[in-house]
Structure 1
Amino acid sequence: MAQSVAPPIVSAPVAPAALPIRAVLPWAAFFGTLMLLLLFFVGAEQGATAVFSGDGVHEWVHDGRHLLGFPCH
C-alpha cells in the first residue's frame, strides 16, 4: 500500500482589521449609558431617589440587588 504525504499548506499571517475610534465611540457611549441606567435601577431605585412610586421596580430587581451586594432591607 503506497501512501503519499502532501506538503503542509503554509499561509501568510493575517493582520486584524483596525477599527476606527469614531465607529466604536457611539456604541461605547450607548452601552455605557445603558449599564449606568441598569445599575441605578438595581442599586438605588427605592426611597428618596425613586423614579417610580411604589415597590414595583424594587420587587423586580430584588434578587439581583442582593446578588450584587446592595442592601435593601
Structure 2
Amino acid sequence: MMDPKRKGEIALAILKHRMGNEGIQLNPNSRRRLGNIARATGIPLEELKAFAREVTTEMIKECLR
C-alpha cells in the first residue's frame, strides 16, 4: 500500500503537469466550479480556495522563471 504523503505528491505533480499543458482558466465560473467540487468531494470550500490559490501561485512563479 502506498504512503498517503507520496500519493499526495504524485497527485500534485499530475495536477501541475495538467495545468501547465491545459492552462489555467480564471472566469466567473471558476468560483462555482470550486463550490461544485467542494460539494462532490466533501472538502471545505475555503480549503479548496486556499489550495487553488497556492498551486496557481506556484505555477505562475515557475512560468516566470
TM class, shorter-chain normalised? Answer: 0.3 to 0.5
Q: Which structure is higher in RCO with an 8 Å CA cutoff and minimum separation 6?
A: 2
Query: Greater helix percent: which structure?
Result: 2
Structure (1 or 2) with the larger CA radius of gyration:
1
With the length of structure 2 as denominator, give the TM-score of the two structures. 0.34
TM-score between both structures, scaled by the size of structure 1: 0.31
